[in-house]
Structure 1
Amino acid sequence: MILNVSTAHFIVSVFTIIAVGISAAAFFHPPEAILESMAEVDVKESWLPVLGILKAAGALGLLIGIGVPVPSIGTAAAVGLVVYFVGAAIVHLHAGDYSISGQHVYLLLAVATLVLSLMTQ
């Protein structure tokens, strides 16, 4: 079975919404692992709610984008998430963290969502 671009866009968007939404929620009540990871890359704990809001806004934008007939909303949200996760990757690289971790998975999901969004317009 071959998926068309519109169906692939919907499926990838839903996965991205779920993944980023869960990640955003975790920033409001961070487990020790997130606190340790942020400390290792010199991100202050006080930034976590702001970062969580940015992630949540991106996930909400994607949800709105697939729920209303204005695809540019979802595309804008995907662009925002790509920028956010590129920034996260840069922060980790700057701190000497060269491991493949969560932010890379989220970045790949955001890029895939953006590319598919652009292909459906």
Structure 2
Amino acid sequence: MSIAYAVLTALMSAVLLASAGAKFIRPKRLVDQMSTLGLSYGVLPFLGVAQIAGAGGLVVGLRWAPLGVAAAVGLALYFIGAVATHLRVGDFKGAPPATVLAISAAVLVGLRVATL
């Protein structure tokens, strides 16, 4: 396992847990953004659980590589979907953060596969 993978895993997991926490707290800004994206209010807990699962998979993936790869692939797909959702409604301010996270997840896939 590489140091780069471990560092990026720690950073990504911290971002994911913070984002998931917001999805459970449901600040007005986030609820308004979901409305702008055309997503129902009820999808927030699912998104939060998916982010927590991804963070957990990345952390466990530090020891068990197949789970790390699976978690990173899942997160890449999650954030590609987020980018597509933002672009679909013309939310060009919301797409860049999701793009950075999608790229980060793809880098995690590559780093973990390279250390198998």
Report the TM-score, using the length of structure 2 for normalisation.
0.91
Alpha-carbon distance in 2 for matches of 1:55, 1:86: 14
Query: Could you say which residue in structure 2 is the equivalent of 1:109?
Result: 104
| Alignment equivalent of 1:54, drawn from 50, 60, 67 | 50
Query: Could you say which residue in structure 2 is the equivalent of 1:97?
Result: 91
Query: Could you say which residue in structure 2 is the equivalent of 1:84?
Result: 78
Q: Could you give the per-residue CA deviations for residues 59-118 of structure 1, whole angstroms, max 9, x where no partner exists?
A: 11001111x2x2010110000000000011111111111234432232222122112112
Alpha-carbon distance in 2 for matches of 1:19, 1:106: 9
Asked if 1:13 is matched to 2:9, the reply is yes
Query: Could you say which residue in structure 2 is the equivalent of 1:71?
Result: 65
Alpha-carbon distance in 1 for matches of 2:115, 2:31: 38
Aligned Cα root-mean-square deviation (Å)? 1.4
Q: Percent identity?
A: 32
SS at structure 2 position matched to 1:21: helix
Report the TM-score, using the length of structure 1 for normalisation.
0.87
How many residues are matched? 115
**Which segments of 5 or more consecutive residues in structure 2 lack a partner in the other structure?**
none
Q: Could you give the per-residue CA deviations for residues 29-50 of structure 1, whole angstroms, max 9, x where no partner exists?
A: 1212111111111111110001
The letter for the 1-side match of 2:75 is L
SS at structure 2 position matched to 1:108: helix
